[in-house]
Amino acid sequence: MRIAMIGTGYVGLVSGVCFSDFGHEVVCVDKDPRKIEMLERGEVPIYEPGLDVLMHKNVEAGRLSFTLDLESAIDGAQAVFIAVGTPTRRGDGHADLRYVMAAAEEIARAARHHVVVVTKSTVPVGTNRQVRETVAAANPELDFDVASNPEFLREGAAIEDFMKPDRVVVGVETDRAAQVMADIYRPLYLREFPILTTDLESAEMIKYAANAFLATKITFINEIAALCEKVGADVKQVSRGMGLDGRHRQQVPARRAGRTAGRAFPTDTKALARIGQDHASPVSIIETVIKINEDTKRRMVDKLLDLCGGSFNGKTVAVLGVTFKPNTDDMRDAPALTIVPALVGGGARVRTVDPQGRREGEALLPGVSWMDDPYEAAEGADLLVVLTEWNEFRALDLSALSERMSVPRMADLRNVYSLEDALTAGFTAYDSIGRVGHA
């Protein structure tokens, strides 16, 4: 089986590498020459644990290659995947389909034989039909099928998620497309992971509905966390107590309290809300989730302000972690993008440290100083903020940190430590999410 993968971002590169590891011959295409040059040199342009090893293994086996040239990539391929970005369109909240449609047109012009055009990007309902129309209009002679194959991997655990998915969703219109998709995912069938075959619209809707439901759960527990702080309850215990109820099936995400509903969630929830509005069937719960997410970010900034006595001006703040979660270098929609500018804008000197976030963060967070380790960042600080729970930040010597600080105060926005830990280590103020924390 020969596969072409368009887009070598978080989804395209991981999918391409994993498909080649299944034994397929994969050519990954990107229009960004910098990325292709890096990949050809054996460098991985993103940080994703384990990806480099798997990529090298499959390049060496001759099953995986990279190119800027779509036409050569598509030559002989039975399937071509579109895995390009679908960011929120400025102004109206819709997913921006510009890159998807451009890729569809390029495929149509490059293809010389039957091919299944598979959309892996997250796209609104109706997009696969639009892809079909775009390809047909650009190359009326071409024999092709379309398929929707939304991706559910999480950055930071992407290879595991791809290789051992809870399910694979495939939307098709023809038996021929269903057969090609079944052949591609056959290695997973052998391991008995469920593959759900649906029509195009249902596959597209599953992705948005699944993400919006997760975002709703996270937002729900964030609201409960805010209430816990007021009434003296501990959100961790509350969510555990809720999650033990079989009707909730999976644990309520206490760990996520304070996280403003993930990386793709803002884009996908906004897009779903717009789809609802366009069809005069508003998804009011999702509209509320979007609003609460914004409020949650503001609540985090208010917490820091309280700890700093009402003003950031002239304060030195050490920020541990800027990526939106551990084990990734991705900063899109990260809480740091709201919190750090609020600190800098309020007159604070910000010293940040992140195991992988610096490359992206330097451009996105102007005016901050980058440190090599948390102890260096804490030197002379008036406040320490734990913003991403990287392993490196989970077992810090709190006494060594507090000794280095000018005023030892901690905002533990990931609930890694406890009030008791902090007080014992010499901190004079501590706050976290969803539990009473002030010293």
Binding region for ligand NAD (CB under 6 A)? 6-12, 29-32, 35, 83-86, 99, 102-103, 106, 121-122, 151, 153, 155, 263-264
Q: What φ, ψ does residue 107 adopt, rounded to 5°?
A: -60, -45
Q: Is 35 annotated as a binding residue?
A: yes
Q: Which residue has the tokens 């990806």?
A: 51
Q: Is 86 annotated as a binding residue?
A: yes
Nearer to ligand NAD, 6 or 350 (CB): 6
Nearest distance from C-beta of residue 239 to ligand NAD, angstroms: 24
Nearer to ligand NAD, 30 or 431 (CB): 30
Q: Is 144 annotated as a binding residue?
A: no
Instruction: Tell me the C-alpha distance between 343 and 321, whole Å.
Output: 15
Nearer to ligand NAD, 110 or 238 (CB): 110
Nearer to ligand NAD, 74 or 300 (CB): 74
Nearer to ligand NAD, 214 or 348 (CB): 214
Instruction: Tell me the C-alpha distance between 407 and 317, whole Å.
Output: 10
Nearer to ligand NAD, 83 or 320 (CB): 83
Nearer to ligand NAD, 330 or 389 (CB): 330
Q: Indicate the residue type of 32.
A: D
Q: Is 143 annotated as a binding residue?
A: no
Find the radius of gyration of the CA atoms of the chain.
23
Question: Which element (helix H / strand E) includes 123?
Answer: none
Nearest distance from C-beta of residue 56 to ligand NAD, angstroms: 20
Q: Is 31 annotated as a binding residue?
A: no
Nearest distance from C-beta of residue 439 to ligand NAD, angstroms: 38
Nearest distance from C-beta of residue 339 to ligand NAD, angstroms: 21
Q: Indicate the residue type of 60.
A: E
Q: What φ, ψ does residue 116 adopt, rounded to 5°?
A: -100, 120
Any idea what the Cα angle at residue 142 is, between residues 136 and 144, rounded to 5°? 80
Q: Is 236 annotated as a binding residue?
A: no
Nearest distance from C-beta of residue 49 to ligand NAD, angstroms: 14
Return all residues near 361 (Cβ < 8 A) that are at least 6 apart.
322, 323, 331, 336, 352, 354, 368, 370
Nearest distance from C-beta of residue 136 to ligand NAD, angstroms: 18
Nearest distance from C-beta of residue 160 to ligand NAD, angstroms: 13
Q: Is 325 annotated as a binding residue?
A: yes
* Residues linked to residue 317 through DSSP beta bridges, in sequence order: 350, 383
Nearer to ligand NAD, 71 or 223 (CB): 71
Instruction: Tell me the C-alpha distance between 324 and 265, whole Å.
Output: 12
Query: In this structure, what token pair is assigned to residue 247?
Result: 């009707």
Instruction: Tell me the C-alpha distance between 289 and 285, whole Å.
Output: 6
Return all residues near 236 (Cβ < 8 A) that are at least 6 apart.
254, 257, 415, 434, 435
Instruction: Tell me the C-alpha distance between 218 and 254, whole Å.
Output: 8
Q: Is 393 annotated as a binding residue?
A: no
Q: Which residue is nearest to ligand NAD (CB)?
A: 9
Instruction: Tell me the C-alpha distance between 357 and 393, whole Å.
Output: 14
Q: Is 360 annotated as a binding residue?
A: no
Q: Is 176 annotated as a binding residue?
A: no
Nearest distance from C-beta of residue 281 to ligand NAD, angstroms: 23
- What are the binding residues? 30, 35, 86, 122, 152-155, 207, 325, 332
Summarize the annotated binding site for NAD(+) as residue ranges: 30, 35, 86, 122, 155, 332
Binding site for substrate, by residue number, is 152-155, 207, 325
